[in-house]
A and B are shown apart, each in its own frame.
Chain A
Amino acid sequence: MKHPLLVFNEKGIYCQQADVYIDAWRAVDKCIVTHGHSDHSRWGHKRYITHRRNVPIIKHRLGDITVTPKEWNETFTINGVTFSLHPAGHITGSSQVRVEYKGEVWVFTGDYKVEDDGLAETFEPIKCQTFITECTFGLPAFKWEPQADVFTDINNWWATNKAEARTSVLFGYSLGKAQRLIKHLDTSIGKIYTHGAVEKMTQVIRAEYDLPPTELITRDSKKEDIAGNIVIAPPSAHGGIWIRKMLPYVTATASGWMAFRGARRRRAMDKGFVLSDHADWDGLLSAIKETGCEKVITTHGYTDIFSRYLREELGYDARTEKTQYEGELNEIETEKEEEA
């Protein structure tokens, strides 16, 4: 039997022919990294290969690493296997990885969304035979509203809070969600303030992307100056004493999980906006269809349910592989946040 082009071993997704890993969760010699979230770009690999725009992000997170930058669609061949990176639309600089060997093509999505968010490079469908896909929100109960509608709600919320002389504190993961929020806030309403973790990451991303001005909240920031404006902070900052400077304030969180009433209500936030950097049900299905693939491997999220649907209802050769990717769970709360 022929050895599969990519296998899932105890360290990550492995291409034996090229002796290269993709998004390995244990330290390896050579690793292609799809994007900067901590469950995909782990510390300790000897060499990293990633998109040019992800380089400053992972360097910021992982420090002094050896990394080879690549452009979109730039092919590189290792022992006869041809690799290339293509936009995944998840966060800035996030890639899908295309792997080709002797006419066989596999694509690994990392994390992705199909909607153009106006900041991350738009998801690009790639033809392949085997499609390895995340399915964080792989249930028909997840159907996102167009981003423009969600931002209308967010900006209205901010404007209303401001009219009531309250500060808006909006929580989002410091890499990705925070910059997407910052990008689309209506700065005619007021100023955008940031928590340290968000500010640092935003400065890194600013080098390549156009973002409205933000101001870091420091010990010297004056309460009166912040009042009525919006503050972008990582979820881990919720409940800390840091937030007292914002009094009186209103809190909100932006996440795909907010689609569920239970999640909204348990979250001890005043408001929940349904905004995700992952594909929803229809997004996943359309992405799969556009690849023209026959085989699908689901990696993280509602993997068993989603692959059963693909198998039984749509006739794909679909199965699940165990990985250590965490999808948006990781983006809601993570210890790594503190050190960012």
Chain B
Amino acid sequence: MKHFAKLIRTIDSTNKTNEKVNALAEYFNIANDSDKLWAIAILSHRRPKRPVNTTLLREWATEQSGIPLWLFEESYHIVGDLAETIALILPKTTKESDKSLSQVIAEIISLREMDDASKKAYLHENWMNMSYYERFIFNKIITGGFRIGVSQKLMTRALSKSTGIDEDILAYKLMGDWTPVSTTYTQLIEEENPSDYLSKPYPFYLAYAVEDGFQESMGEISNWSFEHKWDGIRAQVILRNNEVFVWSRGEELVTDKYPEFQRFLDHIPNGTVLDGEILPFPDGRIGDFRDLQTRIGRKNISKNLLAKTPVILVAYDLLEWQGEDIRNKPFSFRRKILDAMIAKLNSESIGLFLSSTMRFEKWESAAEERKRSREKRSEGLMIKRIDSSYQVGRKKGDWWKWKVDPFTIDAVLTYAMRGHGRRANLYTDYTFGLWDNGELVTFAKAYSGLTDKELREIDAWIKKNTLERFGPVRSVTPHHVFEIAFEGIAKSSRHKSGVATRFPRILRWRRDKKIDEANTLSDLKDLIPK
């Protein structure tokens, strides 16, 4: 526990990826196999089942702290994390745990079987025998959701550093349904498996956003190929040795989440790697990103979900063909093979679509096409140099994205909520309303986009113009108009306004506008793509 707590403390106190990796690798070097296995499990979100519900946890923690429950709840709201709040409000200790990580977890697992009185006694005793960070980790393991700024990717890199095993192979080994109870460190990590190399993806090539007036520096437009920019999950689909592997852009193996692509096996030859976008495809047409979110979050994909929100792959590049890495060949060459391969298949029946390429003679025509992005359900255009190789990472020069401008609407500030942590004294989270029959109907929440100076000014105004308080939320006199930008819009039955927006944010404070000049809900609905 001591080492693991030190590790998390180090990770917490740096924002440098390299230092995090080093600290993790250091931990993997010194920890024993069962601690290592549990550390890997926890950091890849394989935690033991929650042994105590959070209501009891709060009660018992407040009891030990001698504070009333309402004060705990207020503190929790401000701190923003249950495990951290409990660790903070408990009486201070100078003790350190002498148990190992795996021992503590074994105890947490067996806690499930105990009665409430024994659970409480166990927690009270252990809380008072741990340092602050040990307490925090202990609570995190109990409550679940161990998100501490370490992605699976980062952990895999550290493990690779410590073991000398290739990162992508480790990623493959760490896939699937294992738990520290069902396997050992040796079985999971160290034993060689001939299929380990099969899944290996290529690093993704990423485009830069164009800047205003970019057309002038692009040279001949005939050197460029255009496509729509699809708004889904960037992915590589790999077919090798009669197996399919799906990697997302975070270079995470997500094969299990998209069983649809298993169908490719009967139609696409081994030794093929496709680069493309996973898009939701409900009712036989491209859906919006919110549909996809229901798929991303799930570990288990039910039949029901598959039927309701199927996905397709819109392919736009070919990285490997007949077992050969063709990334150094020109884009036009790679696309010729890809286009021909897909043309031969009845590909749409297996959920494989082609991202069509376009050529333009004038930038004006390209701009016209970009304007059609929203009706085509794309985010704008991709511009790729026809003779470009497939490079590694984000590189300037050959691939560009030319996104559509965000939607914007003028809305009225109606509610404000306190921020968290350092901003806990400031009202930083806002709710905005649009007019509908003389009433303001909430349509979005947004927080980012104001300067510190504006934030303090609006905060002071909110404190003076509060109508009602509901815990941390205040309703305010409708007075200020803000221009809100957002990326996507769709009908939604879950929102009171009947509309859901994607990435809403404050674009600017419209001090020049009075509230009756703000937009109406029907103005907003007019923006929904038909």
Q: Which of A248-298 contact B (CB under 8 A)?
A: 255, 257, 259-272
Given A139-B74, A260-B79, also A266-B421 (CB < 8 A): yes
- Given A260-B79, A271-B13, A141:B85 Cβ within 8 A: yes
Q: Across the interface, do B79 and A329 meet the contact criterion of CB distance under 8 Å? A: no
Chain B residue numbers with a CB within 8 Å of A141 are: 75, 78-79, 85, 88-89
Decide if A257 touches B68 in the complex (CB within 8 Å): no
If A140-B71, A301-B425, A333-B452 touch, does A262 touch B420 (CB 8 Å cutoff)? Answer: yes
Q: How far, in whole Å, are A261 and B148 apart by their CA atoms in the complex? A: 9
8 Å CB contact of B12 from A255, A265, A324: A265
A225 at the interface (CB under 8 A from B): no
Known: A264-B12, A266-B422. A309 touches B149 (CB 8 A): no
Interface assignment of A200: CB less than 8 Å from any CB of chain B: no
A259 to B, closest residue via Cβ: B88
Q: Among the interface residues A139, A309, A312, A324, which one has the most CB atoms of the partner chain B within 10 A?
A: A139
For A273, the closest partner residue in chain B by CB is B13
Q: How far is B425's CA from A299's CA once the two chains are assembled, in angstroms? A: 13
- Interface residue? B59 (CB, 8 A): no
Residue A327 at the chain B interface, CB threshold 8 Å: yes
Q: Which residues of B contact A70 (CB under 8 A)?
A: none
| Nearest residue, chain A, Cβ from B88 | A141
Known contacts A313-B68, A327-B425, A270 near B14 by CB under 8 Å: yes
Contact in complex: A335, B453 (CB < 8 Å): yes
A322 within 8 Å of B (CB atoms): yes
In the bound complex, residues from chain B placing their C-beta under 8 Å from that of A142 are 88
Majority DSSP secondary structure for residues of A touching B: loop
Considering the chains assembled together, what is the distance between the CA atoms of A302 and B92 in angstroms?
21
Chain B binding surface, main DSSP class: helix
**Residues 353-388 (chain B) with a chain A CB within 8 angstroms:** none
Interface residues of B in 53-109 (CB under 8 A from A): 65, 67-68, 70-72, 74-75, 78-81, 84-85, 88-89, 92
CB of A143 within 8 Å of the partner chain: yes
Q: A262-B81, A262-B420, A305-B71 are in contact. Are A329 and B13 (CB under 8 A)?
A: no
Cβ of B426 under 8 Å from chain A: yes
Q: Mark B416-445, 1 if CB is under 8 A from A, else 0.
A: 000011101110000000000000000000
B314 to chain A, nearest CB (A): 36
Say yes or no for A227: interface residue by CB 8 A criterion: no
Contact yes or no, B65 A261, CB < 8 A: no
Contact among B15, B65, B81 for A268, CB-based, below 8 A: B15
Scoring B16, B78, B149 by chain A CB atoms within 10 A of each residue's CB, the highest score goes to: B78
Q: Say if the beta carbon of B112 comes within 8 Å of chain A.
A: no
Determine which residue in A143, A259, A261, A302 has the highest number of CB atoms from chain B within 10 A of its CB, and name it: A261
Q: Indicate which residue in A140, A263, A272, A335 contacts B67 across the interface (CB closer than 8 Å).
A: A140
**A178 located at the interface, meaning its Cβ lies under 8 Å from any Cβ of chain B in the complex:** no
A114 to chain B, nearest CB (A): 16
Instruction: Tell yes or no: B394 within 8 A of A by CB.
Output: no
A326 proximity list for chain B (CB < 8 A) = 425
Query: Which chain A residue shows the least CB distance to B426?
Result: A329
Is B308 located at the chain interface by the 8 A CB criterion? no
A332 close to chain B: CB less than 8 A = yes
A260–B84 CB distance below 8 A: yes
- In the complex, the answer to whether A260 meets B75 with C-beta atoms within 8 Å is no
> Chain B residues with Cβ under 8 A from A322's Cβ?
463
Bound Cα distance A263, B15 (Å): 12
Interchain CB contact under 8 A, B15 and A260: no
Report the separation of the CA atoms of residues A184 and B393 in the bound assembly, to the nearest whole angstrom. Answer: 46
Report how far A265 CA is from B12 CA in the complex, Å: 7
- Cβ contacts A125-159/B at 8 Å (1 or 0 each): 00000000000100111110000000000000000
Give the shortest distance, in Å, between B416 (CB) and chain A (any CB): 15
- How close is B63's CB to chain A, nearest CB, in angstroms? 13
- Among A140, A271, A309, the residue within 8 A (CB) of B89 is A140
**Which residue, B16, B72, B89, has most C-beta atoms of chain A within 10 A?**
B89
Are B422 and A139 in contact, CB atoms less than 8 angstroms apart? no
With both beta carbons as reference points, the residue of chain B lying nearest to A157 in the complex is identified as B13
In the assembled complex, the Cα of A263 lies from the Cα of B16 at a distance in Å of 16
User: Would B422 and A332 count as touching, CB distance under 8 A?
Assistant: yes
- Chain B residue nearest to A324 (CB atoms) is B460
- Residues from chain B with a CB closer than 8 A to the CB of A332 are 422
Q: How far is the CA of A294 from the CA of B67 in the complex (A)?
A: 21
A309-B74 Cα distance, complex, nearest whole Å: 11
Q: Which residues of A contact B88 (CB under 8 A)?
A: 140-143, 259
Contact of A267 among B16, B71, B422 (CB under 8 A): B422
Contact A271 B14 (CB under 8 A): yes
Closest to A260 in B: B421
Which residues of B have CB within 8 Å of A255?
A: 422
Closest to A333 in B: B452
Residues from chain B with Cβ under 8 Å of A301 in the complex: 425
A-contact bits for B7-18, CB 8 A (1 contact / 0 none): 000001111100
A253: min CB distance to chain B, Å: 10
CB-based contact B149/A139 at 8 Å: no
A271 and B10 alpha carbons, distance in the complex (Å): 10
A305: chain B residues at CB < 8 Å are 71, 74
Query: In the assembled complex, how far is the CB of residue B192 from the closest CB belonging to chain A, in whole angstroms?
Result: 37
Q: Shortest Cβ distance from A300 into chain B, in angstroms?
A: 8
The answer to whether B422 touches A263 (Cβ under 8 A) is yes
Q: B405 CB to closest chain A CB, in angstroms?
A: 28
**Contact, CB under 8 Å: B74 / A257:** no
On whether A272 and B13 interact (CB within 8 A), knowing A257-B421, A262-B420, A301-B425, the answer reads: yes
Asked if A261 and B15 sit within 8 Å, CB to CB, the answer is no
By CB atoms of chain B within 10 A, which of A139, A140, A268 has the most? A140
A305 to B78 CA separation, bound complex (whole angstroms):
11
Kindly state the separation between the CA atoms of A333 and B423 in the bound complex, as whole angstroms. 12
Report which of A260, A309, A327 forms a contact with B71, defined as CB distance below 8 A.
A309
| Residue numbers in A under 8 Å from B85 (CB-CB) | 141
Say whether, besides A270-B14, A272-B13, A333-B452, A139 and B78 are in contact (CB < 8 Å).
yes
- List the B side residues contacting A263 at CB < 8 Å: 420-422
Are B420 and A260 in contact (CB-based, < 8 A)? yes
Chain A residue at smallest Cβ distance from B8: A261
Q: How far is the CB of A119 from chain B (nearest CB, A)?
A: 25
B71 and A262 within 8 A (CB): no
Q: Please determine whether B92 and A143 come into contact, CB atoms closer than 8 angstroms.
A: yes
What 20 additional pairs, Cβ within 8 angstroms, besides A139-B74, A261-B421, A265-B15? Answer: A140-B71, A140-B88, A141-B89, A259-B88, A260-B424, A262-B80, A262-B81, A262-B421, A262-B422, A263-B421, A265-B12, A267-B422, A270-B14, A270-B16, A312-B68, A322-B463, A329-B422, A329-B425, A333-B452, A335-B453
Residues of B within 8 A of A (CB): 12-16, 65, 67-68, 70-72, 74-75, 78-81, 84-85, 88-89, 92, 149, 420-422, 424-426, 452-453, 460, 463
30 CB < 8 A contacts A-B: A139-B78, A140-B65, A140-B67, A140-B71, A140-B75, A140-B88, A140-B89, A141-B78, A141-B88, A255-B422, A257-B422, A260-B84, A260-B420, A260-B422, A262-B420, A262-B422, A263-B421, A263-B422, A265-B15, A265-B149, A268-B15, A270-B15, A271-B13, A271-B14, A301-B425, A302-B78, A308-B70, A322-B463, A329-B426, A335-B453
